[in-house]
Structure 1
């Protein structure tokens, strides 16, 4: 992994997080290819620039405020890149209004011609939901839904076949 590619990913990550924190959907969407996909750890996939811009407005800024997102230690080979991150926000959802949520994660950027073709992430969703003080049954239901989606991925077939 060359430093040059990592530096470019770091610049892209700074623009990415600045757009999210500012609630600037068009700026975030412009970082993606026209048919790019943002796979959010809570809300799922959004494909196309209009959908990505709408996701930021409707889901992120519709459920929270005071966003802070720090992406660090970018590594990339120019085709794929990874960052560690720390993300936080204050919930505006009626059942959790005013609660501050902080979690760490990893972001994966799949790149085509210097733009994001696919962004996905991994973080401890249960920890985030617990910070919102969701009922245990609600947390379990969400975690089981996400676990089923993971197990149902086509690349998970060899894992399901063991045993």
Structure 2
């Protein structure tokens, strides 16, 4: 499967809520690092994440990947992602955001690790969450980024 085919299968599985199809794209011990929900390692955890977190909080998903590049070891693609919230405090609100997905690939093309970068604050604001709730979440994510071992040189001192 080419990287572009992997992306198409990936986004199709997410939109359909097909956790098994999404998980099958990953290595057995692969990890999906969701920018909201955190890391999920192993196919069963990835399948549950999609079914319970994504499709438990939203509906009408659409995920379009563009400009894919890959050297067979790592791949990147820009994306546009949207869904309609089913959270009680934000039911019916449509959320749309752009991001970049990073795919670390095994030699057989399976996904070893997926992670992403997007403006989480913009996504939360579209849900009309209270400013204090958005700030609390953003500070938690900023602290986690700053605590990464590779961030030591950025912290100074």
For the superposition of Structure 1 and Structure 2, which TM-score range results when normalised by the shorter chain?
A: over 0.9
* Structure 2, unaligned runs of 5 or more: none
Task: Find the residue that maps to 2:2 and give its secondary structure.
Answer: helix
Counterpart for residue 76 of structure 1: 70
Per-residue CA deviation, residues 118-159 of structure 1 (Å, 9 max, x unaligned), is 000000000000000000000000000000000001111111
* Equivalent residues in 2 for 1:89-128, closer than 5 Å: 89-113=83-107, 114-128=109-123
TM-score (norm 2): 0.98
* Structure 1, unaligned runs of 5 or more: 1-6
Q: Could you list the runs of 4 or more consecutive aligned residues of structure 1 that deviate by over 4 angstroms after TM superposition? A: none
Q: Given that residues 86 and 103 in structure 1 are in contact (C-alpha distance below 8 angstroms), is that contact kept between their aligned partners in structure 2?
A: yes
For 2:151, which of 140, 150, 156 is the aligned residue?
156
Aligned residues: 156
Alignment RMSD (CA, Å): 0.9
- Give, in whole Å, the separation in 1 of the partners of 2:52 and 2:16: 14
- Give, in whole Å, the separation in 2 of the partners of 1:8 and 1:124: 28
For 1:141, which of 136, 148, 151 is the aligned residue?
136
TM-superposed CA distance for 1:91, in Å, is: 0.1
Q: Given that residues 10 and 72 in structure 1 are in contact (C-alpha distance below 8 angstroms), is that contact kept between their aligned partners in structure 2?
A: no
Per-residue CA deviation, residues 27-62 of structure 1 (Å, 9 max, x unaligned), is 000000000000001001000000000000010000
